Amino acid sequence: MAKVSKSPWVLHYDGASCNGCDIEVLACLTPMYDAERFGVINTGDPKHADIFLVTGGINEQCKDVVKQLYEQMPNPKVVVAVGICACTGGVFKETYNILGGVDTVIPVDVYVPGCAARPESIIDGIVKGIAVLDQKREAMKQGKLPELNVEDISEDGKEQASANEAQNAEAETTANAGEESK
Amino acid sequence: MTFFSWPLAIGYLILAPFIGGFFDGLDRKISARMQGRTGPSVFQSFYDVSKLLQKESKMVNHLQQFLVCGFLVFVVFTGVLFFAGADLLMIFFALTLAGIFYVLQASSANAPFSALAVQRELMQMMAYEPMVLLTAVGFYVVTGSFAVREISLADRSAICLMPGFFLGFIFIMIIKLRKSPFDVSTGHHAHQEVVQGLNSDLSGPVMALVEVSHWYENVFLYGVIGLFILNNQLWSVPVALVVCFLVFFLEILIDNVCARVKWQLMFRSTWIFTIIAGVINLLVLILFHLGVK
Ligand code: SF4
């Protein structure tokens, strides 16, 4: 099983960040830090990703996007919140449009603090995420998915079919839920 | 003597994924070194595929799965025919058919990024197909046969009379190996524009099938490169292997040097190059009555 965790593909999404953390995330891929030596690929495609790297807080506009990206990722998957904004809302916490950290919309597995989070700690966060990924994979093999559905977290929890099926329909439900709450 | 026979074809069937996967990893390692990075392990491609096999599969529709299997089957069919020494024209048509399956797979997803990728992939196919067909014709003019088996039994290496075809084929290999242009490419690099190209809507085990198909395809393509060198002498075999390796290195170098090529440039340059290298070479062969009648 050790081999499996050697291939974490990352999806990077920029919520309401100041772009400080995003620059650090990209710095992880440069020759200086070279996250690819751990097999990390910055895919840009949720359907290929194992690790969802979110930077910045969540606001009304990006809330649905984050949910949809999370839904589109196949199991097992891990969410890493990068930067203090993604963890709690950070300096933007008190502003009128910020809902808070990433965990207000989707379940977060690893929190990477810092403003901006340093590349070293981001890589550490990814490595921690890989460990969680392994646990989830084992759980998935035994037939139980430890995943929380996003609806369990969002305020207006709607009735939801199996998370593994009809993901498009599901994304729509999520989007509608978002509109209603506006 | 020729090695193109059924035992070799069976060897291809079994070993090509390992060879292709290893060279895919080596490719990423060398690319990383060229960029001053450490790069992943040379076995990275195998780790990736074994991970994909364990992921959940989120299918957009069931047709897609069928079409991806069609892609794999026809790529393997192409390679097996080639290494069994069959007819080169049939081999290239089988390869095109495999390509069509791959395109259909993405168009069946009915998603914006896939649709865009389909358009660009078709554009790519239009760009490289003339050179592929010319290569088959060139082999015929030079050796008097379309059969891979007989081409490899010629008295002298085909490359002596068809250097233009050889260069042209190297040129289209850049596209076939999915190295360049960056806005169509589905390679493992950060420099892609269309999310993941034709693979955008694939996930898990189905995506793994696509990866394995590419390994089969790549081994076949280097086989064609080798065919330019092979003749009825035994020494041509190691020479062919060395040339394949040099071309492998050259392709990586081109990929890293021309990271920002867009599809418009690819389209124009491929056709111009096809005309300069392929057509002129063919005219010379015909006008001066070189090669076997
Ligand atoms: S944590 Fe700091 S650097 Fe990162 S997005 Fe927030 S404010 Fe910007």
Nearest Cα to Cα of residue A77 among A125, A142, A148: A148
pLDDT tens per residue, range A92-124: 888 888 888 888 888 999 999 888 888 999 998
Residue A164 has pLDDT above 50, yes or no: no
Chain B contact present for A3, CB below 8 A? yes
Of A175-179, B128-132, B221-225, which range is least confident?
Answer: A175-179
Instruction: Check whether B293 has a pLDDT greater than 60.
Output: no
| A138 touching B (Cβ < 8 Å) | no
Q: CA B91: distance to chain centroid?
A: 12
CA dist B141 and B147 (Å) reads: 12
Q: Which of A7, A68, A126 to mutate to test the interface with B (most CBs of B within 10 A)?
A: A7
C-beta separation of A109 from A79 below 8 A: yes
- Among A12, A28, A91, which residue has the most ligand 1 atoms within 8 Å of its CB, making it the best to mutate? A91
Residue A36 has its nearest CB partner, among B40, B57, B58, at B40
Measured from the CB, is residue A90 less than 6 Å from ligand 1? yes
DSSP string, chain A: -TTGGG--EEEEEE-B--SHHHHHHHHTTSTTT-GGGGT-EE---GGG-SEEEEESBEEHHHHHHHHHHHHHSPSS-EEEEESHHHHH-GGGTTSTTEEESGGGTS--SEEE--TTPPHHHHHHHHHHHHHHHHHHHHHHHTT---PPPHHHHSSS------TTS-HHHHHHHHHHHHHHH-
| Sequence letter at residue B238 | P
Average confidence (pLDDT) over B62-80? 90
Q: What pLDDT score was predicted for residue A1?
A: 43
Query: Would the CB of A18 count as within 6 Å of ligand 1?
Result: yes
Å from CA of A11 to ligand 1 middle: 18
Q: Check if the beta carbon of residue A41 is closer than 8 Å to that of residue B192.
A: no
Give the position, in ligand 1's atom list, of the atom nearest the Cα of A85: 6
Question: How far is B83 from B96, CA to CA, in rounded Å?
Answer: 17
CA distance B137 to chain A (A): 40
Which chain B residues contact residue A137 at CB under 8 A?
54
ipTM over 0.85? The verdict is no
pLDDT digits (tens, 9 = 90+) for A19-68: 888 899 888 888 888 888 888 888 888 888 889 999 988 988 888 899 98
Pairing of strands A98-100, A51-55: unpaired
Considering only the beta carbons, identify the residue of B46, B56, B202 that sits closest to A75: B56
Q: What is the pLDDT of residues B181-225, one digit of tens each?
A: 666 655 555 555 667 777 777 888 888 898 899 899 999 999 999
Q: What is the mean pLDDT of residues A128-148?
A: 77
* Per-domain boundaries in chain A: 4-181
pLDDT number for residue B125: 87
B156: pLDDT strictly greater than 90: no
Residues in chain B within 8 Å Cβ distance of A34: 32, 37-39
A26-40, B43-57, B92-106, B181-195: segment of lowest average pLDDT: B181-195
Please tell me the distance from the alpha carbon of residue B54 to that of residue A133, in angstroms, as a whole number: 12
Cβ atoms of B219 and B70 closer than 8 Å = no
**Residue in the block written with tokens 């490595």:** A127
Phi, psi for B122 (deg, rounded to 5): -65, -40
- Residue B256 CA to residue B31 CA, distance in Å, equals 7
User: What does each C-alpha distance from B122 to B17, B133, B247 come to in angstroms?
Assistant: 26, 16, 25
The total number of residues written for chain B in this structure = 293
Taking CB atoms and an 8 Å limit, are B203 and A31 in contact across chains? no
Architecture per CATH, domain A4-181, reads as: 3-Layer(aba) Sandwich (3.40)
Nearest to B195 by CA among A30, A49, A15, A167: A49
Tell me how far apart the alpha carbons of residues B15 and A165 are, in angstroms, rounded to a whole number: 36
Residue contact A48–B203, C-beta within 8 A? yes
Going from N- to C-terminal start, the domains of chain B cover 6-292
